[in-house]
Amino acid sequence: MTIAVREADLADPDEARALVEILDSYARGPGGQGAPLDAHARANLAKGLLEHPMAEVFLAFLDGQAVGAAVCVFSFSTFAGRPSVNVHDLAVLPAFQNRGIGSALLDRVEQAARARGCCKITLEVHDSNTGAKRLYERAGFGPWATPTWFVTKGLG
């Protein structure tokens, strides 16, 4: 079993398709929205990320098959006066979970963050997602404190 993580080439139709399938699988599950990605999201996801100037996507391959992804958005921490990165999505296909793939993705995100001089990596995790919480805790995320509410205002 060989895990390799690298920046995704979203101009490559096979890698773009793999990313959509990984994120669709995540969206369908309890950590996602409990429903598949809609047709618009599926059609525009890879192209939109490719064109987004602050997005970076990493794919994890197990023996050559894309089985996980980390979608990151770089930003700026006003409190630290330095760049930061948010892991917007971290997903591993269910059949490949608990094999170190999520850890390998987080390690690659940290390498990219350090290379850009980031002061921190942020992410959101639902309280009920115990597996992800264990992964993030092992990777050094914390402290775990009273929840910060994450709210959304849809714009259509």
| pLDDT tens digit sequence for 24-46 | 999 998 888 899 999 999 999 99
Q: Where are the beta strands (DSSP E) in 79-130?
A: 82-92, 121-123
Token representation of residue 74: 């770089």
CATH number of the structural domain 3-138:
3.40.630.30
Cβ-in-10-Å burial (0-12, 13-18, 19+) of 95 comes to exposed
| pLDDT tens digit sequence for 53-95 | 999 999 999 999 999 999 999 999 999 999 999 999 999 999 9
- Domain ranges in the chain? 3-138
